[in-house]
A and B are shown apart, each in its own frame.
Chain A
Amino acid sequence: MPAALQRLAQILPADRLLTSAAELAAYESDGLTAFRTRPLAIAVPETQEEVIALVRLCHELQLHFVARGSGTSLSGGSLPVVGGIVITLNRLNRILKLDPDQRLAIVEPGVINSQVTTAATPHDLHYAPDPSSQSICTIGGNVAFNSGGAHCLKYGMTSNHVLGIKAVLATGEVVQFGGESRESIGPDACGLFTGNEGLFGIALEITLQLLPRAESFHTVLAGYQTLEQAGDAVSAVIAAGLLPGAMEIMDALALNAAKAAVHAEYPPGCEAVLIVELEGPRESVAIEKQSLEAILTASRPVEMRPARDAKERLAIWKGRKSAFSAVGRLSPDFIVQDGVVPRRRLGEALRRIDSMSKEAGIRVANVFHAGDGNLHPLILFNGREEGALERAEDLAGRILKMCVEMGGSITGEHGIGVEKREFLADMFNQYEIDAMLRLRAAFDPHGIANPGKMFPGKEAPSLSHHGLHPLEKAGIISRE
C-alpha cells in the first residue's frame, strides 16, 4: 500500500476510501466524456473536518486532489489526476440554514442545485441560477465553475448569488470570505473565489442569496423560417427596452431532436424557434406581454404560441431543456461547445458556424441563450469512425477562436477545465496568464488543487472516446 494511502486511511474508514479498480472506474470521467483518467483513490468525507484533514494531508504530502460533486462538468473540470485523489463532496449535503427574512441559505457543497429552490419554495423564494443539470449538479461545483443557466441576462451567474464562502484553501488554511450581508467592505474575495475551477481549494459552506419567486410568468414560443429572423427578433426585444427572464433559440436540428425525444411540438416549417419569458408582478407582466406580442408580431414569425397556463409553459421548457440529451438520438456522439459572441453578431456567428460545419462535413445543432450571446453548438460525430472525434474537436476549436475574434469569450458558463485550456491564450496574453498563475500559486504554492485545469500545460490527458455519459443516456442529466 503506498504511503499516501496509509495516511489517508488514518482520516477515513476503509469503506470511505475507495481504491479498487471497479470503484475507481466510476470516477474516471465527468460530463466531458471524451477524457478519462484513473486516480489513486476516492476519498468520501462526511464532515467538513474530514475535508480539511484531507486537504491538509495533501498539502503536506504534495498529493494532487480533485474536488468533485456530481461530476457533471462539461469542461472536464472534475477529471481526476493520475496518482492523485478525488475528494467527493456528495455527502456534505446539508442545508445548514435557511433564513427567509434575510433571504439566504447556507449550504454545504454537496447540496444539489434544485434542492435549494425546493427548500425555499414554502417561503415563496427561489435560488436563481439554473444550469440544465440543476436536478443533479451540486452547489460546490456551481461555485467552482461559476455556472450559468437560462436566466443569466437578468439575474447573472452563480457568482452574483454567492454572498459568502467558507473554504479550506490548498494550503490548508480555513478562511471565511463574505458573509450574510449582500454588501461588503474590502476587496471582494468571495467574488474571486467563485469560478476558481477548483484551483484555490474546496468550499465547505456557501451562503446563497434567495430571490422572491416571480408572481407571474408569460412564456411565448415563436417559430421562424430562418435562424436570422429569430436572432433579429431578439434584437428587437432588447431594443424595445424589455428585460425578459430568458430568451432562448433552437435551430432545426435541435428541434428535430426535441421532437423525437420528448414529443415536443413546434410550428411546422420552422428553421428556428425562439422562446421568450417575461416574469414579475402580475400588473407589470400584463402590460409587458402586450409590448412583447407587438414586437414579435412585427418580427414575422411563422407562428406564435403563448403558453396559456403553467402546463404549457412547462412543456415549452421541457422541450428546450431536453434538447441537448435529445441530440443523442440523432448521433452516437456529440461535443457541447460553449462560446460567447456579442449579441449583435449572433447571426453572423451562426452563418459562419454553418459554413464551417458544411465545409467539414460535420453536422452542428445550435441551442443557445440568445439574450446574452451564449452559443452552445452541438457537434455531432460517430466515435467509431477513425479520426471522427479529432475532427469534431478541431471544428469545436475553430468555433471558439471565432468567438474570441468576434470580441466574445471561449466560455460563457462551462469554464475552461481541461477542455479549453489550450484556448486560454487566445483570450489572455502571457503576462495576464502569468498574473493568474501567480494568483493561483498564492492559494496553492504546490499546485496540488485540481492541476491540469484552466492553464495550458504539457500533462494533457489523452482523448479517448466512450460515448454518452450513462446518466445522460438515462435522461437524468443534460448538457448545457
Chain B
Amino acid sequence: MMTPEDIHELAEAVRSSPRVLAIGAGTKPRLSQIEATKICMQRLQGIIEYDPGEFTFTALAGTPLAEIAAALAAKQQYLPFDPPLIGAGATLGGTVAAGLSGPGRFRFGGVRDFILGVRYIDGAGRVLRMGGKVVKNAAGFDLPKFFVGSLGRFGVLAELTFKVFPRPASSMTLRLSSADIHSSLNMLRSISRGRWEVEALDILPRSFDIALRIAGPEAALPLLATDLLAHFDGAKLSNEEAATLWEDLREFRWVPPDAALLKIPVALDQLLALYSSHLGDSIHVSAGGNVAWLATPRTTQWPAMTLRGNSPLWTAPTQRPAIWQSIKTAMDPEQRFPTLDP
C-alpha cells in the first residue's frame, strides 16, 4: 500500500507499479477486491476552493464527504444527491468512482449531474485536467462524467470540482402506507408525475411503504403535505424520525451483515419482476424507481454491481462493445489500472 501526500506523489505512485488501484475509505470493499498495488487516498484530503456565491467547490479526492457536507451546510448549501455512506466515512473520489447517489438524486440528478471537473492521473502517470470549474462549460469531451462509475480502471482521481445548490429552507418526510408492491408502484407513478416536485421518493426495505421528502419554504410544506395525504394514505414523520429514516437508508443499515449489497439500475416497469425474483431478500427502491439496492445472501440474475459481500463485481455480464477496449487503451495504454471486467 502506498500513501501519497500530494498530487505529485500520487503521480509517482501510479508510475511506480505495473498495476495500481486507488482506494478511499473502503466503504464499498467489493469494488477494490482485485489484484493490484493499492494507493491509499486518505492523505489527499481537503477542500481547496469553496465559493458559495459560485455554487462550486473543489476538493481533493480523498476528502471525506462528511467534511464537505459540513462546509456546505455552514453556508446553507448541499449536494442534493444525498451521497451514500457519508456516515461510514466515504470519500468524494470513492463516490465518483463508484458512481453512487442516494435518494435525493430523484429531484435534481445524481453524482453525474453535479460533477464539473476532474484532475486525474492517467495510465502514463501524467496529471491532467478535464471539464471546468464553473457551473456551465461545454469545452472539450466530458471526461468528468465518464469517470463516474469508472472504478479507478481508467485513471486515478486526484481532485474534483462540483456544483452545489442552496439548501431548501426546510424539508418534511411522509411515510405512505402500501399493502403490496402493486400499490407502491402506482404511488411511485402518480407522485413522480405530480405537481409536488418531491425531492426523494423511495420504497422502504422490508416493507412496501413509500418514504417521500418534500422541501422548500417552511410555510409551504404543511400545505403540500396535507394535499399529498389527501391523495395517499400515510403520515408525517417528526424531524427526528425523518433524519433516522434517511440516514439508515443512506448508510445501508437495513442490510443484514451476512448479505451482499448490490446496485441494480432499473426502470419502473421492471420492478415487479425484480421483486418476484427476489422473494425473501431485502430491497430498497430509490430515486422514484430508478435504482434498486438489493441485499441477498446469494447473488442475482439482474445486471448489477456488487458493493460488498460475496457476489461477482458485475452480475449477469454481457460482452462489452469493442469501443470499451479502445477507450481503455487510449486512456491507459500500459494497462496500469485493472480492466473493467475482472
Contacts and interface: CB of A to CB of B under 8 A. Distances in A.
A283 B220 contact: yes
B128 A181 contact: no
Task: Give the interface size class of chain B.
Answer: 35 or more
Contacts of B142: 146, 159, 191-192, 194-195
A318 to B, nearest CB: 24
A145, A182, A342, most chain B CB atoms within 10 A: A182
Contacts of B321: 173, 175
A440 B263 CA distance: 31
Contact of B139 (A125, A196, A416): A416
Contacts of B217: 284, 287-288, 291
Interface string B150-166: 11011000000000011
A212 B134 contact: no
A411 B137 contact: yes
Interface stretch (A62-70, A217-225, A354-362, A431-439): A431-439
Given A280-B197, A373-B135, A103 B263 contact: no
B145 interface: yes
B166 A243 contact: yes
Interface in B164-199: 165-167, 169, 189, 192-197
Contacts of A173: 321-323
Nearest to A234: B53
Contacts of B290: 181-183
Given A146-B142, A241-B76, A431-B128, A188 B149 contact: yes
Task: Give the interface size class of chain A.
Answer: 35 or more
A124 B290 CA distance: 20
Contacts of B153: 187
Interface in B128-146: 128-130, 132-143, 145-146
Interface stretch (A33-41, A293-301, A304-312, A402-410): A402-410
Contacts of B265: 179, 181, 183-185
Interface in A392-424: 407-416, 420, 424
A186 B340 contact: yes
Contacts of B314: 185-186
B54 interface: yes
A108 interface: no
Interface stretch (A148-156, A327-335, A457-465): A148-156
B134 A454 contact: no
A347 to B, nearest CB: 12
B30 interface: no
A190 to B, nearest CB: 8
Given A181-B290, A241-B169, A439-B331, A101 B193 contact: yes
Contact of B216 (A169, A175, A280): A280
A429 B101 CA distance: 32
Contacts of B169: 241
B113 interface: yes
B330 A441 contact: yes
B129 A428 contact: yes
Contact of B263 (A179, A185, A373, A420): A185
Interface stretch (B39-47, B85-93, B251-259, B266-274): B266-274
Contact of A153 (B135, B263, B266): B135
Nearest to A210: B193
B51 interface: yes
A23 B267 CA distance: 45
A410 B327 contact: no
Contact of A103 (B54, B192, B216, B331): B192
Contacts of B150: 186-188
B79 to A, nearest CB: 14
A183, A214, A286, A410, most chain B CB atoms within 10 A: A183
A148 B108 CA distance: 16
Nearest to A155: B108
A235, A287, A440, most chain B CB atoms within 10 A: A287
A171 B136 contact: no
Contact of B146 (A157, A192, A288, A369): A192
A96 interface: no
B268 A187 contact: no
A426 to B, nearest CB: 9
A407 B161 CA distance: 13
Given A185-B305, A411-B137, A156 B146 contact: no
Nearest to B166: A241
Contacts of B230: none
Contact of B266 (A181, A281, A291, A432): A181
Contact of B132 (A189, A409, A415): A409
A319 B128 CA distance: 43
B129 A340 contact: no
Contacts of A317: none
Nearest to B262: A185
B138 A415 contact: yes
Contacts of B167: 241
B210 interface: no
Contacts of A125: 193
A323 B303 CA distance: 49
A101 B151 CA distance: 32
Contacts of B223: 283
B269 A182 contact: no
Contacts of B130: 428, 432, 435-436
26 contacts: A102-B268, A145-B138, A146-B138, A148-B138, A154-B108, A157-B138, A160-B113, A179-B265, A179-B267, A181-B265, A182-B288, A183-B290, A183-B291, A186-B150, A187-B147, A188-B145, A188-B146, A188-B147, A189-B323, A241-B167, A243-B166, A407-B133, A412-B136, A414-B138, A435-B130, A435-B330
Given A187-B150, A194-B145, A287-B216, 5 more contacts: A124-B193, A145-B138, A160-B113, A189-B146, A215-B195
Interface of A: 100-103, 123-125, 145-146, 148, 152-157, 159-160, 169, 171, 173, 175, 179-189, 191-192, 194-196, 212, 214-215, 235, 238-239, 241-243, 280-281, 283-284, 286-288, 291, 340-344, 369, 372-374, 407-416, 420, 424, 427-429, 431-432, 435-436, 438-443, 454
Q: Which 3 pairs, one residue from A and one from B, show the smallest C-beta to C-beta distance?
A: A191-B145, A442-B326, A183-B291
